[in-house]
């Protein structure tokens, strides 16, 4: 894997997902307070666009069927689609992130 500059910290609104394509990989970045998280863009259930999802704390919700993933816990599935139990779909991949000064870097 290689560290790649993703964006400046100013480009990320607190609690609002932003989509990127880096080296052919669709990802979503978001800032929660002083933390930055980067995950795969497509939900593990039926490929819903997590860039259109909503965020509460460190949990991102898929806009299609409501699957929820906790980014602070490595993308762990905490609620399945349509209210199914946690773990009913695969976890969402979360990437390693480094913030250096005002720059966000991701390990792709």
Which pLDDT belongs to residue 106? Answer: 97
- Please write the tens of the pLDDT for every residue from 48-70: 999 999 999 999 999 999 999 99
The answer to whether the beta carbons of residues 94 and 81 sit under 8 Å apart is no
Lowest average pLDDT, out of 1-5, 6-10, 47-51, goes to 1-5
CATH class of 3-107: mainly beta
Nearest alpha carbon to residue 41 among 87, 89, 93:
93
Examine the pLDDT at 73 and tell me if it is beyond 80: yes
Residues near 29 by beta carbon (within 8 Å), at least 6 away in sequence: 6, 7, 12, 17, 18, 20, 36, 37, 38, 97, 104, 106
**What 3-state class would DSSP assign to 67?**
coil
pTM value? 0.94
What tokens does 5 get? 């500059």
């Amino acid at each position: 894997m290689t560290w790649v500059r993703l964006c400046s910290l100013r480009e990320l609104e607190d609690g609002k997902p932003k989509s990127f394509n880096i080296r052919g990989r669709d990802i979503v970045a978001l800032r929660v307070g002083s933390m930055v998280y980067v995950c795969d863009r497509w939900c593990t259930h039926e490929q819903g666009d997590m860039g259109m999802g909503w965020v509460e704390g460190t949990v991102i919700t898929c806009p299609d069927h409501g699957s929820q993933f906790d980014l602070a816990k490595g993308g762990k599935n905490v609620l399945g689609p349509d209210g199914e139990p946690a773990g009913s779909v695969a976890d969402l991949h979360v990437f390693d992130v480094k913030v250096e000064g005002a720059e966000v870097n991701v390990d792709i």
